[in-house]
Structure 1
C-alpha cells in the first residue's frame, strides 16, 4: 500500500482490524487486489459484519479435508486400490493446507520463516517422503488450530467492536422550526438535538431543556443513571431513560468522548507491551535456528552415519512442527487485547500494553487530595473578620479576586457569594500565584488572597490569625486569607468532604498488594493529617507546591522504582508525567485527562483503581503463564524428537494444544469484574 502513488503513509492496527491511510486513498478495488493473495478484504466505513462461521473459507476447506481423510481411511480399510487412497489423502492435504501454504510460500521465498512457512515445509516434506496420511492429518489439524485461534481472537476483539457499534449513526436535530433525522457526520456544533426517552444520545453536548436520568455506562462504566437538567453535560452513547431532552451539540462526531475512547482503545491494542516485544525478538532468532537444526537432523545422520534418509527427514519434519512458535507468538497479544477491552467496558481506559504491565507491577501509589480523595467541591463553612466590619463586604472582595481563578477553593468562595446574593466586585490586573493564591486590584487598592504561606512570605502581621488557623486546621478545614502585606482582613474556612469510596478504595489497594499509598497535597499539615486518617492512609505530605509534588514523586520512584500518581489530569499533570503510571480521575468531562494520563478512570469512582490493579496483575500472570507454558512445551517436545519418540501426529497435537490453551487462558481476563 505504501508504494501506491499518492499514499504518504499506511498503518495497520491488527487489534482493531483497521487500516488508516494518509494521503490519496486508493480505491477499494485496488486495496482488495493487494490483499487478494492473503484473502484480506477491505471495507470502507461501516461493514456488514462477518459471515456466519460455518461459511468462512477456512472452515469449509478444513471440514472438506476432514471428510476426505475419513474417506481415505475407509478406502484403506476396505482394501480399495492404493492410488485411490493416496489421491484422497492428497486432496485432503491440499484443502487443509491451502490457506497455510498461501501465507507460507511467500515467507519461504523471502527467507522469512514464520509459523506458516514451517508448516508448509513440514507438509511438503511429508509428501516428498511418501507419508501421505501424516501430511493430510498435519494440514487438517493446523487448519483446525488456525480456525479456533481466529475464533478466540475475534472473541477478544469483540469487546472493542461492541464499543464501536454502541455509537448511534444518526440524530434528530431541530433547524429552524423543522426537526430532521440526519447522519451524525452532518450534525454541526451548535445544533439542537432532540432526544426522546429510551433513545441514545448521538453527540456530546449540554442540556438546554428538559430533565431526565441518563445511563452513561458506555462512557464511565457506571450503570446507575445520572440525573441531568439544563446546563448538565451529556455524552454520545449515553441512554436517555426518562424525560425528553433538548441538547446543544458541543463536539463533532469524530471528537465526541465515545469516539475518542474508541480511538484510544484501538491505539492501545496496537501498542506492543514489553513482554510482546521480547517474544517477537525471541521468535526472530528462534525460528531460523529451528530451521537450521531441522536441516542438520535431516542431512547429517544419513551423510555421516549412514542412517536411513526416510527416518532422518521424518524426525526433522516432526521437529519443525513441534518447534513452531504458534503458542509463543499468540501468548501476549490476546491477553493484552482481552484485558484492555474488559477495562474499557468497565469505564477504565488503559492506553497500551506497556501501561497495563506497569500498572500490574506498581508497589506504591500517590494521590492528590482535592478532587481525588475528596469530592473536589469544597464549601465555605465560616468567615472570621480581622479588619473588615461586615462579612458581606469581605466576601465581595474575596469573590472579586477568586472569580478569575479555576482552583476548587476559589470556586467555593464565588459559589458561596452567589448563594448569599452578594454582588461580586470588579477586579483588574489579576495575577495568579501558582500553589499560593492570587493578587489583583479591587476598588483601586491591591489585595491578595491565598494560603497562610503566601502571607507568611509577605511578612504580614499574623499574631491574631495563628490561633484561629490552628483551631480550624485541627478540624481538618482549609484556611484562605484575604488582605495585603500590611494586614489580614478576613479568613475563610473551607472544608472539602471525603469521597464515600476513598476509604474502601485504599483498603482494597492494600488487599490486592499495593504496599504503599501516599497523599500529596498543597494543604496544611493538620488538614492533611485529618483527611489521611479519614481515608485510612498512613503516609502523607503536606504544603506542597506543584513543583514539590514532582520532586516527591521522583523521590518515591527512587525508593519504590515503580509508582503511580492519581490526580485530576490538569493541576497534577507534571507529577503524573514523572510517575511510572499517570492515572487521571473523571476523564469523561476532561479532555486534558484523556490526553495526559496513561490510565483514565472515566467516572469519579476510586473503587475502579483496585479493579484496574487486579486486572493488570492478572494480565501479567497470564502472560507469564503463557510464555512459560509455551517454552516448556516446545523444549519437552524437541527433547522427544532425538530418541525418535515424537511422531508427526503427536507434534501437531502438541503444537495445536499449546496454542489453544494459551489463547483460552488469555480469554479468562474478560471475566474479571470490579
Structure 2
C-alpha cells in the first residue's frame, strides 16, 4: 500500500522504484526508531484546500516529523520515526480520503460520470421533486426539502466529523453542516436544500478544474510503459521497469514507447518525440543516438542499450522536478494561506455575534438574526481564497512544462514575472557548444585539403572539442588522413605527433613567437580572430603550414529569442570567459551588450552589479555558471547542462531551446495578473456578500455563491493559463 525509502537526499532519485528500502531494518521490517520516508497516492482530493487537510491529519500522527502533499502528482510524502504506515492511513481515511500504492500509474484512472456525480444528480433530482411537491402541496414541501437536504448532507457531516477528529474544526464541511442544519431548524428548508445543491455543484467544478490543471502531469506519467522486453542472449524476457539497469539491451516494437533512456543500436529508425519536445513530426535517428524515455518508435523494431537507472529516466527527472516545485511556494501563496487560517475563525465569531447580540441587546427578532448568522457562516469558508493562488500556479506550471520548461515552484514563477535583465552565458547557451571549421588556409603552395588532412592526423585520438571539429571536417570532405604516431599534448605548445620523420604541431597563435609567422600570415590570423573565430596554426618541423579557423555557431532561434525579449522590455547581456574579439563578434550578431574574459567570480560580481539596477536572471549550462545563477534573482539552466547547474537553477529549459524564454516570461507575467484577479474575486465577492447579508439583502442560497461561486470563478479563471502561450 505504500513505498518506504530512507529519509536521505539520495532517496529522492529512486522514489519511483518499486523496491522498498529503509535505513535500518529488524528482520526485514522497518525498525521502530529509524527515520523513514513514506509515499502514497491520494484519491478523493479535489483542490489545494483538501491537500491542507491531508497534511494536517498526517502531521497529528504520533512519530510523524513532516508531511507534504504534492498536489500535481497527487502524492503524500511523510517523514517519520518508525513505521507509521497504519496510523497515517487510518488518519487520512478518517479525514475522508484514501491512500493507495505509491507506484506511479502508467495511465490516468478511468472515470465514470454516473459514479462520480451520483450524489449531485440525486440531490438535484430530489430538489426538483421537492419544489414540485411544495407547489402542489405546500404542507408537505418542507418535509420533502428536509429529506432532500439530509440525503446530501449526511456524507458531508460524516466527513466534517472525521476532519474535526483530526484536529481541523474550521473547514467548509463543518461550516456547511452547521449552516444547513441551522436553516432546517429555523424552517428555511427550501433554502437549505438549494445551498447544499450549489455547494455540491461547486465541489464538482473544483474537481474538474483540478483534473484539467493536472492533465499535463498525468499525460507525462502515462508515457512510461509498465514493462520492458529485455534481451538475454538469444532469448527475450518481459521485465518490470525496476529491473532494468544500465547496459541492458531492450527491444521496442513499432508503436511502443521507450521505457528508459538509452542509446540506439539499430541502424536507423524514426521516433515520435512530440510528448517530450513538442515537435509534431517524427525525427530520424541513427546508430549511437541518445534517446529519452517516452519517445515512440514509429516505423521499426529497434534495439536500445539502456543508460538510465530505475527512477532516473528523463520522465522520472521531470516528474521529480515538478514535485520539488510544489515545496517552493510563492510568497503571496504563503501569505494567503496564513491569512485564511485567521479569516475563518474571525468570520465565525462575527457570525455568532451577529446571531446573538442584536436579539439580546436590542430586542431584535431571533429568527431574522439567526438567519443572518447562518448566512455569514457560509461566507466564512476560505476555499475560494485558499485556491486562488495555487490554482493559477498549478495551471501555469503545467503550461510551462508543455513549453519545455520546468519551474521549481510558485516562488520562482513570481520572481520570473519581475525580471528585467537576462544575462546569458555564451558557450553552450547562446552557442551550440560544438565548434565547426569555418575556413582552412594554407601558408604554402599545398592545397588546403592537404593542410586539413595533416591537422587531422595530428589530432587523431584527441577528445578536445577543437580536435573533434577538425576530424569531423576532414571526414566530411572525405579526405585520406595519414596515420601519425606518438601523439602528445604539451602545455603551452599544443599537440604534437610524428608523421614518418616529420613532426606535426598544432597550437594557438599565442603559443608562437613573433618571428615564427611573417607579417602577411599574422594579418590573416588577426582577420579571422576579429571575425569571432578561434584560430589554430599547423606547423611541420617548426615551419608554418597553414591555419584553421573554427567557430562555435549560434543556437537555432538565438537571434529571434533576443529580439522577442527586447520586445518584452527585457535587456540582454552576454557574460563569457572567452576572449573579447570572439565575444564581440557573437554579441554583434545578436545586437546585445557583452562582458568577456570573465572568471566565475567575475560573473558573480557582474550579476551583483546588474542586480542593483533591476531584477536579473542568469541562464547557463556549466559548473562555472552555477555561482552566477545562484547570485542572480533567478537562475535558468539549459536542460543539457551540468548536474550542478540544473540543481542550482530555479528553472530549466528541458529541451535546451532558447525560444521558450519569451513565452515563459509572458506566462509568468500573465500568471501574476491571474493571481491578483483571483484574490480580488475571492475577497471581493465575500466582502460584498458580507455587507449585503448583514443588511438583509441576500440570503443563504446567494451567500453560498460567495464560496462555491467564487471558487468556481477563480478555478475557471486559472484554467485560462492552460492555453498555450506564444
Note whether the superposition's TM-score is higher than 0.5. yes
Which residue of structure 2 aligns with residue 508 of structure 1?
A: 564
Which residue of structure 1 aligns with residue 114 of structure 2?
A: 54
What SS is found at the alignment partner of 2:598?
coil
Of 695, 700, 710, which aligns to 1:658?
710
Query: Is the deviation greater in 421-430 or in 656-665?
Result: 421-430
CA offsets per residue over residues 148-183 of structure 1, 9 Å max, x none? 211221121121111101112222221111122332
Which residue of structure 2 aligns with residue 607 of structure 1?
A: 659
Of 242, 254, 262, which aligns to 1:185?
242
Q: Is the 8 A contact 2:458 2:487 kept in 1?
A: no
What SS is found at the alignment partner of 1:167?
coil
Q: CA deviation at 1:322?
A: 2.5
Distance 1:574 1:418 in 2: 39
Distance 1:342 1:451 in 2: 49
Q: Does 1:549 align with 2:606?
A: no
Distance 2:457 2:143 in 1: 96
Map 1:82-97 onto structure 2 (within 5 A): 84-97=140-153
Distance 1:467 1:234 in 2: 45
Distance 2:610 2:466 in 1: 28
What SS is found at the alignment partner of 1:227?
strand
Unaligned runs of 5+ in 1: 432-437
Q: CA deviation at 1:259?
A: 1.4
What SS is found at the alignment partner of 2:264?
strand
Distance 1:672 1:559 in 2: 32
Query: Is the deviation greater in 204-213 or in 420-429?
Result: 420-429
Which residue of structure 2 aligns with residue 435 of structure 1?
A: none
Q: Is the 8 A contact 2:63 2:84 kept in 1?
A: no
Map 1:179-578 onto structure 2 (within 5 A): 179-382=236-439, 395=455, 399=459, 403=462, 408-409=465-466, 411-412=468-469, 415=472, 421=481, 467-479=523-535, 492-511=548-567, 513-535=568-590, 537-560=591-614, 562-578=615-631
Q: Does 1:648 align with 2:705?
A: no
Distance 1:490 1:610 in 2: 44
Distance 2:644 2:154 in 1: 50
Q: Is the 8 A contact 2:575 2:596 kept in 1?
A: yes
Distance 2:65 2:571 in 1: 48
Q: CA deviation at 1:29?
A: 7.8
Distance 1:155 1:285 in 2: 30
Q: CA deviation at 1:632?
A: 1.5
Query: Is the deviation greater in 117-126 or in 169-178?
Result: 117-126
What SS is found at the alignment partner of 1:223?
coil
Q: CA deviation at 1:124?
A: 3.0
CA offsets per residue over residues 239-271 of structure 1, 9 Å max, x none? 122333221111123111111112222332454
Q: CA deviation at 1:398?
A: 7.6
What SS is found at the alignment partner of 1:631?
helix
What SS is found at the alignment partner of 2:605?
helix
CA offsets per residue over residues 622-647 of structure 1, 9 Å max, x none? 11111112112121221212322121
Q: CA deviation at 1:204?
A: 0.8
Of 627, 630, 635, which aligns to 1:582?
635
Unaligned runs of 5+ in 2: 1-57
Which residue of structure 2 aligns with residue 595 of structure 1?
A: 647
Cα 1:209/1:61, change in 2 over 3 Å = closer
What SS is found at the alignment partner of 2:299?
coil
Distance 1:361 1:339 in 2: 16
Task: Report the count of equivalent residues.
Answer: 650
Cα 1:409/1:277, change in 2 over 3 Å = farther
Query: Is the deviation greater in 127-136 or in 659-668?
Result: 127-136
Q: Is the 8 A contact 1:90 1:132 kept in 2?
A: yes
Q: Is the 8 A contact 2:96 2:159 kept in 1?
A: no
Distance 2:493 2:384 in 1: 64
Distance 1:21 1:288 in 2: 28
Distance 2:343 2:485 in 1: 74
TM (normalized to structure 1)?
Answer: 0.85
Cα 1:87/1:21, change in 2 over 3 Å = same
TM (normalized to structure 2)?
Answer: 0.80
Distance 1:669 1:63 in 2: 30
Distance 2:61 2:435 in 1: 59
Q: Is the 8 A contact 2:228 2:238 kept in 1?
A: yes
Map 1:35-184 onto structure 2 (within 5 A): 35-44=92-101, 45=103, 49-56=109-116, 59-79=117-137, 81=139, 84-105=140-161, 110=167, 112-184=169-241
Q: Is the 8 A contact 1:331 1:626 kept in 2?
A: yes
What SS is found at the alignment partner of 1:365?
strand
Distance 1:473 1:85 in 2: 92
What SS is found at the alignment partner of 2:214?
helix
CA offsets per residue over residues 558-577 of structure 1, 9 Å max, x none? 211x2112222444222222
Distance 1:9 1:291 in 2: 30
Q: Is the 8 A contact 2:456 2:470 kept in 1?
A: no
Cα 1:172/1:7, change in 2 over 3 Å = farther
Cα 1:130/1:384, change in 2 over 3 Å = same
RMSD (Å) for aligned C-alpha atoms: 3.7
Distance 2:146 2:409 in 1: 45
Q: CA deviation at 1:660?
A: 0.7
